[in-house]
Structure 1
Amino acid sequence: MAMLLVPGFMLDADLWRDVAPALGEYGPTTYADLSQDSSIPAMAARGLAQAPSKFVLVGFSMGGYVAREIVRQAADRVTALVLIATSPRGDSDVELQRKKAIAGQTGSAVFKGLSRTAVISSLHPDNAERADIIERIQAAGQRLGGEVFRRQSLIDRRDERDDLKTIQCPTLVIAGERDRLRSRTEALELHQGIAGSGFEIIEHTGHMVPMEAPRRLAKVIAEWLERQRAGS
């Protein structure tokens, strides 16, 4: 068994730093790179080119959109799917207006780093003073830089709610208990739309589940994978 881990918006492989070791028995692990492409299908194709022939697929946030596109492009290669803190919905009116504003800015004006306020909004209130997490998220943003911020900000996220029924592989949907970026309703739409999927909530987490509760997240994934392997 192998795994392909897909990060979210303005994040890279460091997102999984404390999760991947606990899932070592399901390795080797490959990390998708979302920094090179300007569309979900292109990101998915790049991830597939880097991945082993068959793998467990784990997608976080924007990476959940990429993961579902990977399933569409190569369903025969995905043995199981885990979707974390993500949504099946397309861009809201607010998000479309934000994209329009970013598209109209020059490159130098678009990105000056992820603000502390923005980062804290992605965390559970109990983690709002976790400097270690805040600094990791901001460091990922600095590594990726302004051009990646612009590309990822302008990516089209289409509404997939009517397409979820086409996902046939075993699927687990995971939500953060106090996710202020992706609602519980959105997570349930994924769960209810994907036949036979499991659903778990990671307590005392916001949106950044893999950083806020890596060991608990890994335990939930590992136990679910064991049930799949046992055929239950």
Structure 2
Amino acid sequence: MAILLVPGFMADETLWNDMLPALERFGPIVHADLRHDTSVEAMARRVLETAPPAFLLVGFSMGGYVARAIARQAPDRVRALVLVATSTRPDTPSLQKRKGAIGAAAPSIAFSGLSRVAVASSLHPKQRDNEAMIERVRAMGVRLGGEVFRRQSMLDRPGDLERSHEIRCPTLVVAAAQDRLRSIEEAREMAAAIPGAVLEVVEDSGHMIPIEAPQRLLEIVVPWLAAQER
């Protein structure tokens, strides 16, 4: 069985580096490519074109929206679903306004990665001066580049709470206790809406759980995935 990892906004495959040795026990690791498309559904279709016939699926943040779309589009191929630091809620009006401003910006404007302030806001407050961690997050955006930044910034994330009943595979929802981007309330409503979903909370972490608290995330995800294989 393969395990398909779906990253979040302006994150690449290195998001999962600290978790790969433990996840490899479940089979080959496959990384979703979210660089090219302008809708969640199109991203999901592209991922499915090259994905294995059957797989375990893990989606982080924006990747959680894509992972749920994958589970809806190919229910017979997804054996289990893990949703990390994500939501079923649509973009807020303020976020839509910011996206419009980004879309109106000239494509020629140089992109040098997410700002230090933006990255720090996604981390636990205790990590606000952790330069190595901040730079690791920023470096992912630099590698992806300006075109991907504009494309992903303009991505419409419609709410899909009302479609949660369409997800029929075993589902684990993981939230961070100190996530300033996605609240525990969002995780609770998502877990309550997906049939049979289980909710777990990672303490002492901000939004970037795979980087901030990879071992604690593994302590939740690995036993749960192992139980789905029985």
Q: How far apart in 2 are the matches of 1:17 and 1:39? A: 26
- List aligned pairs for 1:109-124, cutoff 5 A: 109=109, 111-124=111-124
Matched, 1:192 2:196: no
Matched residue, 1:146: 146
Query: 5+ unaligned residues in a row in structure 2: which ranges?
Result: none
Q: After superposition, what is the alpha-carbon deviation per residue over 1:49-97, rounded to whole angstroms, capped at 9, x for unaligned?
A: 2211100000000000000110111110000000000000111111111
Shift of the alpha carbon at 1:180?
0.3
The root-mean-square deviation of aligned C-alpha atoms, in Å, is 1.2
The ranges of structure 1 where at least 4 consecutive aligned residues each deviate by more than 3 angstroms after the TM superposition are: 109-112
Between the aligned residues of both structures, percent identity stands at 54
Q: How far apart in 1 are the matches of 2:116 and 2:66? A: 26
Matched residue, 1:48: 48
Shift of the alpha carbon at 1:15?
0.3
Matched residue, 2:176: 176
Matched residue, 2:20: 20
Q: How far apart in 1 are the matches of 2:40 and 2:108? A: 24
Matched residue, 2:228: 228
Task: Between 221-230 and 107-116, report the one with greater CA deviation.
Answer: 107-116
Aligned length: 230
Q: After superposition, what is the alpha-carbon deviation per residue over 1:8-44, rounded to whole angstroms, capped at 9, x for unaligned?
A: 0001100000112111111201000111211111211
Matched, 1:99 2:99: yes
Shift of the alpha carbon at 1:110?
7.2
